[in-house]
């Protein structure tokens, strides 16, 4: 499975609001019509709206929950019926924020911790269907979300040096690092792994950061 995922799978882009059920439903139906089945679902959509619970508006809180947590629920809800026939793998992209918090990240941390609870519950509920459910918890990854954060700090260089010093491996992660972890969890090499999470953070959290 790993080889086929890496090399041979055709691509289909479908635009949808991950928090809108009808759009999610249509996206899943379109994918099934195109490919005939779904064997792997990776719930990767996410946003980060910073602030404490007193700084965030109720609308900002709701939007964070809608995209990061409700989106994973809706995608899973509509994909699982199509996965039951042949089984498969669902992977939620959580974060080290699920268990290591930073100030001003109340809503983000809540959603990422919620994904781990959802992972465990879904693994129990859908294991009998032959569906494995796991989560990946990335640390600092070189993405547009991180770039947006770096652009907002007073001293980008000093902040980046601080970030790098927190990583025993001496670098931040790349999207490829996370993709390779997802590829492993989706493959037959992980056929007995379900209900757990894989930390991809260059030992940052192990170092106490």
Q: Which residues are catalytic?
A: 108, 112
The angle that helices 106-126 and 71-83 make with each other, rounded to 10 degrees, is 20
CA proximity to 195, closest of 103, 100, 122 = 122
- Residue 162's contacts (CB-CB under 8 Å, 6 or more residues apart) are none
- Residue 32's contacts (CB-CB under 8 Å, 6 or more residues apart) are 38, 82
Phi-psi region at 87: left, alpha or beta (left = phi > 0; alpha = psi -120 to 50): left
* 154 Cα distance to chain centroid: 29
Cα(143)–Cα(138) distance, integer angstroms: 11
Q: Which two tokens stand for residue 156?
A: 């980008």
- Residue 56's contacts (CB-CB under 8 Å, 6 or more residues apart) are 49, 106, 107
């Amino acid at each position: 499975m790993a080889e086929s995922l890496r090399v041979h799978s055709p691509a289909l882009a479908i635009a949808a609001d991950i928090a809108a059920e009808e759009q999610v439903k249509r996206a899943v139906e379109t994918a099934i019509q195109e490919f005939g089945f779904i064997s792997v679902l990776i719930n990767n959509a996410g946003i980060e709206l910073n602030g404490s619970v007193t700084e965030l508006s109720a609308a900002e809180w709701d939007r964070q929950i809608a995209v990061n947590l409700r989106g994973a629920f809706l995608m899973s809800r509509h994909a699982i019926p199509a996965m039951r026939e042949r089984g498969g793998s669902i992977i939620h992209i959580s974060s080290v924020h699920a268990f290591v918090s930073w100030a001003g990240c109340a809503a983000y941390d809540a959603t990422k911790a919620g994904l781990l609870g959802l992972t465990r519950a879904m693994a129990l509920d859908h294991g009998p269907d032959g569906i494995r459910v796991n989560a990946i918890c990335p640390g600092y990854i070189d993405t547009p979300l991180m770039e947006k954060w770096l652009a907002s700090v007073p001293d980008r260089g000093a902040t980046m040096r601080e970030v790098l010093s927190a990583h025993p491996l001496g670098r931040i992660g790349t999207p490829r690092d996370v993709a390779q972890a997802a590829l492993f969890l989706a493959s037959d090499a992980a056929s007995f792994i379900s209900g757990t999470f894989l930390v991809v953070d260059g030992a940052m959290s192990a170092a106490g950061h």
